[in-house]
Amino acid sequence: MPLTRSSETNEWDLAESSPEQLRNVVLVGPTGSGKTTLLRHILAYASSASTADAAFAELANKTIEPTTRLAVHTVINASTRINFIDTPGAADFAGEPRAALRAADAALFVFSAVDGIDAAAAFLWDECAGAEIPRAVVVTHLDLEAADFDAIVAICQRLFGDEVVPLHLPMHADDGSAAGLIDLLRQQVADYSTGARLDRAPDPEHGSLVEDARMALIEAILADSDEEDLLDTYVDDEDPDIDLLTASLRTSVARGAITPILATAATPMGFGISEILALITTSFPAPGNYRLPYVTDSSGEPIEPLAGDSGGDLCAQIIQTRLGVDGQQSSIARIFSGTLVSGTDIALSGVRGANAITAATTDFDTTAHVGSITGEHVVADATAGDIVSITGLDTARPGDTISSLEVPMRVEPWLLPEPTLPVTLVFATAVDSSLSALVASLASSDLTIRHDFALETNDHIIWTLTDSHLQAFLADLTDLVGSKVDALPLRLSLRETLSSLGRGTAYRTADAPDSGVMCVIEAAPLPAGSGLDFVDARPISAADDDTAADLEIGIRRQLALGLAAGYPVVDLRVTLIESRSTSDSGAAGDWVRAGADAIRSAAAATTVTLLEPVDLVTVVVADEYVAAVVADLTRRRGLVTANDSLGTGRSSVTAEVPQLHLGKYSVDLRSVAYGTESFTRVYLRHQPMPAQLAAQVQAESRAR
Ligand SMILES: Nc1nc2c(ncn2[C@@H]2O[C@H](COP(=O)(O)OP(=O)(O)OP(=O)(O)O)[C@@H](O)[C@H]2O)c(=O)[nH]1
Ligand SMILES: [Mg+2]
């Protein structure tokens, strides 16, 4: 059924469209490669002929800001509706392309012919290849003098393999600038040098160049083809049939076996846009014909694979949530199966809150496709395969699953980059519960932010991906809170323990004259992780439970306050040796104070060791930077425990590193590994701090 446009509103009638006529395509690539620009040109191109010129004219006057959050735009081309998801290329927002990939069925990798490919794009490519997501490469900036199409092709093939092949070559005008395309299969030129498109035969002098590139393309198609007819022509040395070749190429692209490279210049008189749309329409898969995510029931047991049709059980996943100026939250969701009907009861299950499934019986609206130049369509039903905007689901968070109450389910979260830069938030106002709720709510709208609340210190600790990611979060939070929010490096959670056994004695004179209490204790260090242990070793005759309990209270209080530098004491056995009082029992308060005195006196008899937190850091990095990463870790007092090659040009380095030296590690690592890195850090244990550093910390604590 062809899609039709209303003659009155110029809007497309979506009610009639089938999933076969739908494509969900994500744009990924380095920042500045031209993703947003390309999408703007595609939108201008696809607007009806009468408005296209105006749309292009408007583009010329617009500057494009770097993207920070994923955004969906819809284009209708030749009866196919394409949901494009634009993503940021900057490392600060590395969670966004991953969320967008979950919603998409195919990916366009956008690379600039001037700047090339970055490590983050190569990582994303590997993820797509692993999941067999169909891909195409779009090379932009070809209008610029410094553009080098052949160089990008060579880099793609070196990094990603020979099945990445150009479908076109850029055509250069007499002045050397790119002014059109040569279609390699059809051997046709789309020439824009006169200011309008002219289709013609290639110039004779391009003959050998075109022939070589064409042979490479045909060989790639034949290598992946199982069409007998096509293979026969190759054996017979005939020129293969173009239609058969084209059909075979489309199948290979849809399977992710061949990745075509397309060429474009996103300038008002650019080229290559119609070719990109044609490729998406003919070769990228429709939703549902394609992989569906791994789904479990509420207890975590896998559910039979989804059917992916509109009649099946409802299954959708929230890809993004956004807080509007009116305080209303809107969400973007991808429907994997079934039909989401506005205003019905649904189950919403969280990524963060274990397996809990909560019923949401809200009045919500679904909007078929979001932010499109064809306008937003409020629809009652959003069906399998589509990407929709939902309002009224105020508790939804990215990664959450929407399902029916009868068959509740959970979609696995997508692969998330780890936030590795921790800071403590500093507020201009007192931290109360409403402020804490704002922090928690903003942090939970970005899955790549981790939020911890440190009970000991009442600190809000925020973990982000990079410094600019943190700055963006602080700016948003400042807006929400209404006063400035800053960040300080994370306060280290140091601990104290004793280096050896110490004996302590305390005398306390009670309020009444001629009365008082005394006690003797011994404190000895225990192995790491043992905690505190209390032993009553007084002669039976002296044993009095109340006395021991009061002494223990006093000792515990002092241990929480620290014995040398103000940090909690751990891993200690305290043995009560003797207790005496002049009166029958002694006052409770006297025993508590005596306990505190005794443990301080025991500490004075030996030395206090400071324990510092150590993290297990795992860095994955390109082989050529392994030596630099190891040297840098060693400088941070890191103990490298493993260093393994992962193949594919990458290695994994594991080290135990004191947290003291990991403050801005993600920022520093980038300059050592040139963006080829990823790393994780998890708390491992506390271990003794070197004496010199410990002395410094103790001196600082005395100065406070
Ligand atoms: N000459 C030329 N300039 C281009 C082309 N494509 C993009 N640009 C320019 O390159 C700059 C960056 O383009 P964007 O579209 O913002 O890049 P992006 O990939 O969306 O970047 P992020 O959103 O940061 O990931 C803009 O100034 C564009 O005008 C092109 O084909 N030719
Ligand atoms: Mg952009």
Residue 246 scores a pLDDT above 90: yes
pTM, to two decimals: 0.74
Report the nearest-CA residue for atom 30 of ligand 1. Answer: 141
| Radius of gyration of the chain from its Cα atoms, rounded to whole angstroms | 33
User: Ligand 1 centroid vs 263 CA: distance in angstroms?
Assistant: 14
* Distance separating alpha carbons of residues 128 and 701, to the nearest angstrom: 52
- The whole-number average pLDDT for the span 219-227 is 87
The atom of ligand 1 lying closest to the CA of 86 is: 20
pLDDT of residue 261: 98
The closest ligand to the CA of 97 turns out to be 1
Q: How confident is the model at residue 398 (pLDDT cuts 50, 70, 90)?
A: confident
The pLDDT assigned to 1 comes to: 46
Q: Whose CA is nearest to atom 4 of ligand 1?
A: 141
Residue 467's pLDDT is: 84
pLDDT-derived band at 8, boundaries 50, 70, 90: low
> Does pLDDT of 30 surpass 90?
yes
**pLDDT tens-digit readout, 626-637:** 999 999 999 999
- Which fold, 421-491? Alpha-Beta Plaits (3.30.70)
Ligand 1 midpoint to CA 37 (Å): 5
- What's the confidence (pLDDT) of residue 513? 62
Nearest ligand to residue 39 Cα: 1
Which residue of 64, 86, 192 sits with most ligand 1 atoms within 8 Å of its CB, as the best mutation to test the pocket?
64
Lowest average pLDDT, out of 168-182, 365-379, 421-435, goes to: 365-379
Separation CA 347–CA 362 (nearest Å): 10
What is the pLDDT, as a whole number, of residue 437?
A: 87
pLDDT greater at residue 4 or residue 462: 462
Nearest CA to ligand 1 atom 2: 141
**How far is the centre of ligand 2, averaged over its atoms, from the C-alpha of 276 (Å)?**
18
Give the pLDDT confidence score for residue 371 in this predicted structure: 42
Q: What is the pLDDT of residue 378?
A: 55
**Cα of 83 from ligand 1 centre, angstroms:** 20
Mutate which of 26, 27, 28, 36 for ligand 1? The one with the most ligand atoms within 8 Å of its CB, which is 36
**Extents of the domains making up the chain:** 14-283, 295-411, 421-491, 496-606, 611-703
pLDDT of residue 273: 92
Q: Which two tokens stand for residue 311?
A: 């009649």
Atom of ligand 1 nearest to the CA of 68: 23
Q: Residue 677's pLDDT is what?
A: 79
Asked if CATH classification 3.40.50.300 holds for the domain at 14-283, the reply, yes or no, is: yes
CATH number of the domain located at residue range(s) 295-411 in this protein: 2.40.30.10
> Which atom of ligand 1 is found nearest the CA of 89?
25
Give yes or no for residue 531 having a pLDDT over 50: yes
DSSP 3-state assignment of 85?
A: strand
Q: Which amino acid is at 471?
A: Q
Give residue 250's pLDDT band: very low, low, confident or very high (50, 70, 90). Answer: very high
| Topology classification of domain 611-703 | Alpha-Beta Plaits (3.30.70)
Point out the ligand 1 atom lying closest to the alpha carbon of residue 37.
Answer: 15
C-alpha distances (whole Å) from 595 to each of 15, 507, 534, 572, 591 are 78, 10, 12, 15, 6
pLDDT tens-digit map of 43-88: 888 876 666 677 777 777 778 889 988 998 888 887 888 999 999 9
| pLDDT higher than 90, residue 508 | no
- Output the CA 232–ligand 1 centroid distance in Å: 45
What is the band of 422 on the pLDDT scale with cuts at 50, 70, 90? Answer: confident
What span, in angstroms and rounded, lies between the C-alpha atoms of 254 and 422? 42
**pLDDT at position 290, please?**
62
* pLDDT confidence tier of residue 559, bands split at 50, 70 and 90: very high
Cα-to-centroid distance, 619 and ligand 1 (Å): 31
Q: Which residue has the tokens 């969906």?
A: 72
Q: How much distance in Å is there from the Cα of 110 to the middle of ligand 2?
A: 11
313-370 per-position pLDDT tens digit:
999 999 998 876 676 778 899 999 998 887 778 888 875 443 344 555 555 566 555 5
Instruction: Give the atom of ligand 1 at the shortest distance from the alpha carbon of 65.
Output: 16
For the chain, what's the residue count?
A: 704
pLDDT of the residue at 15: 52
- Cα 70 to ligand 2 centroid, rounded to whole Å: 9
Atom of ligand 1 nearest to the CA of 110: 19
Beta strand 377-379 with 381-383 is unpaired
Q: Across residues 132-143, what is the average pLDDT?
A: 94
Q: Could you say which ligand is closest to the alpha carbon of residue 30? A: 1
Considering 35-44, 171-180, 340-349, the range whose residues carry the highest mean pLDDT is 35-44
**Which of 11, 112, 24 has its CA nearest to residue 73?**
24
Residue whose CA lies nearest to ligand 1 atom number 13: 34
Residue 26, H or E segment: strand 22-28
Q: Which ligand is nearest to the CA of 71?
A: 2
pLDDT of the residue at 217: 94
Band (188; pLDDT cuts 50, 70, 90): very high
Please report the atom of ligand 1 found closest to the CA of residue 265. 31
Beta bridge partners of 579: 519
pLDDT level of residue 17 (50, 70, 90 thresholds)? low
Q: What integer pLDDT is reported at residue 38 of this predicted model?
A: 94
Identical topology for domains 421-491 and 611-703? yes
Buried b (16+ CB within 10 A) or exposed e, 23-59: bbbbbbbbbbbbbbbbbbbbbbbbbeeeeeeebbeeb
Q: Return mean pLDDT, the chain.
A: 84
Distance 86 CA to ligand 2 centre (A): 7
Q: Ligand 1: which atom is nearest the Cα of residue 64?
A: 16
Q: DSSP per residue over 289-316, as a string?
A: SS----EE-TTSPBPPPP--STTS--EE
Could you tell me which CATH number the domain at 496-606 has?
3.30.230.10
Closest ligand relative to 35 C-alpha: 1
Atom 14 of ligand 1: nearest residue by CA position: 34
146 alpha carbon, closest ligand: 1
Ligand 1 interacting residues, C-beta cut-off 6 A:
29, 31-37, 64, 66-67, 88-90, 140-141, 143-144, 265-267
**Which listed ligand is nearest to 266 at the C-alpha?**
1
- Map tokens 């393999």 to a residue: 161
Higher pLDDT, 158 or 238: 158
Mean pLDDT of 277-299: 85
**Given pLDDT bands bounded at 50, 70 and 90, which one contains residue 587?**
confident
Ligand 2 centroid to residue 65 C-alpha, Å: 7
Distance 144 CA to ligand 1 centre (A): 12
CA atoms within 13 A on the CB side of 565: 24
Distance 169 CA to ligand 1 centre (A): 21
State how far the Cα of 442 lies from the Cα of 435, in Å rounded to an integer: 11
Q: What is the DSSP string of 368-412?
A: ESSS-TT--EEESEEETT-EEEEES-TT--TT-EEE-SSS--EEP
Q: Rounded mean pLDDT of 482-507?
A: 90
Percent of the chain past pLDDT 90, that is, above it, reads: 39
